[in-house]
Each structure stands twice: as structure tokens, then as C-alpha cells.
Amino acid sequence: MDHFDHHDGRLWCEQVPLDELAAEVGTPAFVYSASTMRDHVSRLREAFEGLDPLICYAVKANSNLAVLRLLRKAGCGFDIVSGGELKRIQRIGADASRVVFSGVGKSVREMTAGLQAGVLMFNVESEAELEILAEVAAHVGQTAGVAIRVNPDVDPKTHRYITTGKKENKFGVDLERGEALARRAIELPGIELRGIQCHIGSQITDVAPYGVAIERTAALARRLQPDAPDLAWLNMGGGYGIYYRDADAPDLADYATAVRPALEGLGLRLIMEPGRVIVGNAGVMLTKVVLGKTSGAKRFVIVDAGMNDLIRPSLYEGYHRIWPVRGDAPPALGTEADAAPVDIVGPVCESGDFLAVDRPLPAVERGDVLGVMSVGAYAFTMSSNYNDRPRAPEVLVDGDQYAVVRERESHDDLVRLERPDAKLRSLGASAGEQESHT
């Protein structure tokens, strides 16, 4: 469910018409629905009722401070993967005891910052990481709570770039090594084994792999429980699929049904790390038609948003519904008989710069605004300044009001940190001893 709707000849985000919003804030622009995000958090709680999950929103999906603040108020904890994300959740007043620190390559600086902030636990992904974390904890004089991330060797049948729970993936350790690593954590001074974690991938639309993964992970937890007095959590990760092509996605209750049997009698509280399922369908990107072009039999619609704004189609072969924000609502998928196929492409100087290929689209003219749907997750956070293009603004809509929660970048912003006149110096020389070799 989302709060975007075509009526009265226009696409609306809640009670805000997107054609008027585009005229106000310009294009390209990302627009987020606050009501959609709140609803998705509520639906997660309802689906997993009785399991009392700690919902740790995956900050990497959409890290805008206004979005994080909204989700904190909705009762979410946070899943972070960097020191930068830790700073963000501290800025919005998050409770660090409801934060898990994930990531396969945490630096000593990040470990130190997490310990000093008081995060609930670090998701540990290797033997080397556990030993380093123990050293850092001793140096800081604090105890590090950890969860061992295991790979249950389950194929989630998603895109190869977002599969994370198979033996050949870089994340976590296999179950046998995971048990040995957990027992090492129990023995290490300055370390508390607080959880076992698995995460099998992203955009998973088949619930069955979750059941298998949690069954294998829970079996490991049961073996450890007699020797692990601090073991209190089982973290099932995230990765729940959303709709991109149409309005149909697995019911969240189906995921809960798949994992409940393995959790019966376990006595551990559940953590989940959803990102996309909360914010993915809560976003639309507004982009304006620059011009049309024909090359042989191929028709192009060139818009002012490019792969630097939304890289998913180029990187993941991601599909996003695209339709004009003015005019009739889009027909059901596969029934667009009157809409001729076009390639919707951007201005970036790359052949891979496209938002859609051979996509049915009604006739559009220069200046028309298109809505690119389901861009609340892994869109702005993966955007870049390639071709020296300023990043788009982010806008939050709540009811009939909106706020620009991140301003559009300027060309001055792009060069603010550059120093073309910086003086060269030898390694080890102080700032006062710089030598110019130009």
C-alpha cells in the first residue's frame, strides 16, 4: 500500500498534486510520502505480532535526516553500516541501545565510535573482525555486544548483486564456522555474545527461503544457549520484497508465518532490519521531458534525470513504473495498447544512462513531467555527481503540506572541497614547511 493515487487527471502524493509540486521545487526531485512510511512500519508490527520484533530500519536505504526522524518517532531502531550513518542517527536523537552496527569492513575508528555511543551490538562478520573488536573494546574500556552473522547457505532467488546469504558471498561466515566464532566470542574478555544474525539478500519475493534460513540459524542458537548467558536476540535481517512492476507484493504476514515455527520456544527476541519495505514504495522521482528523438526505428524520450540520479535500472536492471503526472492513470501492466514503446533516457554521457527500455508511454511533449515510482529506497542514497550534475532535492509530503528536506545542490557545492591552488609538499612536512614544486 502507498499514498500515491491518480485522480482528477493528476498524480497525487497524499493530498499534494505532483504537477504543482514539480512547478514549485523543480525537476528532477525526489518526493517521499510520510503516511506511507508510517503505514509500512505499522504493517510490519501487525504482521509479526506476538514475536515482539525490534524493528531496526536499514539507514542505507534512505538516510535523509527527516526520514530518519520520522521513523524514530514511529518507534524504529536503526541498522547502520558506517560511521557516517552513526552520526546521522545521533543527529536525530536515536537511542543507541536500539541500534545494530553491521558491515563487513568496520574500521577501528568506527568500532570505537560505536562503543562510545553505546550501540546494542555489532554484527560480526569474520574471525578477524571479532579479534580486532575485542582489542578496541579493551582499549576503550567498554564491553562490546556482538551478534555473529552466519550464512545459512540459502538461495533467495534475487538479483546476483543483492544476494548475501550463500557460502560464496562476502558477508558473514558459514554455519559451522559461525558456531566456532560464537564460542570464541563467549570466551573473549570485553565481548558479550548477545545475538545470532542472518541476512540472505534483498528484494526477496519468495518467503520460503526465510523459513529455511531462520530454521538453520535458530538451530545454531539452541546449541549455543547452554553456554551463552547473554544470548538474547535472533536477527533475521531484512530484504522483504516490494512491488516495482505493479501493485502486488508478498504479504508481510507470509514472511512472519514462514519464520514462526523455528522461533517457537526459542526464548530469543527477534530483530529485523527492513529498509526497502518501509521506504521503497514511499518515493517518486519527478523528471521533466527535455525533448523527443527518433533514431531509425527507435524512439527516445530524453528527460532531465539520469543514471546519476537513479542508477538502479543501469546497475541492477531495476524496473520502475514511469507515467506522466498529468492525464489518465496508467493502465494495468501489459494492457498499454495505445502507448508506443520508447526508451526513457537521461542527459548523462553514457550509453547505460537510461530509466527504461522499450517501455510503453503515452505521447508526451517537452516540459511534461513524468513520475518514476518506487524510488524511496536505494535511489537518492546511491546518486552521484557524475558529469558534474548537482544532486536533486528531497521533499517530504505529509497530508496536504510539504517541506524540502534536502536542498538541490548547486554547482558551487560541487567544487567547495576542491583546492586547485593547493601547494605540494613532501611526506612528513608540516603545513609551515610546505614546498611548492609547481
Pull the grid cell for residue 255.
514472511
Instruction: From the candidates 13, 56, 198, 349, give the one annotated as an active-site residue.
Output: 349
Catalogue all structural domains in the chain, each as residue range(s) with its CATH number.
4-13+22-26+281-415 (2.40.37.10), 34-279 (3.20.20.10)
Rg (CA), the chain: 24
CA distances from 74 to 41, 95, 405, 432 (A): 7, 13, 18, 52
pLDDT per position as a tens digit, 149-193: 998 887 655 545 444 444 555 567 999 899 999 999 999 999 999
Neighbours of 319 (CB within 10 A): 15
Is 63:391 a contact under the CB 8 Å cutoff? no
Report the C-alpha gap between 430 and 128 in whole angstroms: 35
Count of Cβ atoms closer than 10 Å to residue 362 Cβ: 16
pLDDT in tens, 343-366: 999 999 999 999 999 999 999 999
Contact 408, 390 (CB under 8 A): yes
User: Maximum CA pair distance of the chain?
Assistant: 72
Question: 122: part of which helix (H) or strand (E)?
Answer: strand 121-124
Phi, psi of 276, deg, nearest 5: -55, -40
Which string of DSSP letters, residue by residue, matches 51-118?
T--EEEEEGGG---HHHHHHHHHTT-EEEE-SHHHHHHHHHTT--GGGEEE--TT--HHHHHHHHHHT
| C-alpha distances in Å from residue 425, one per residue of 323, 417, 422 | 54, 19, 9
Query: What's the grid cell of residue 376?
Result: 524511496
What are the tens digits of pLDDT across the range 93-145? 999 999 999 999 999 999 999 999 999 999 999 999 999 999 999 999 999 99
Whole-structure pTM value: 0.93
Range 29-48 average pLDDT: 97
Average pLDDT over residues 389-401: 98
Residue 411 neighbours by CB distance under 10 Å: 10
Residue 349 annotated as catalytic: yes
The mean pLDDT value of the chain amounts to 92
pLDDT for res 433: 56
Report the percent of the chain where pLDDT is more than 90. Answer: 79
CA distance 382 to 150: 27
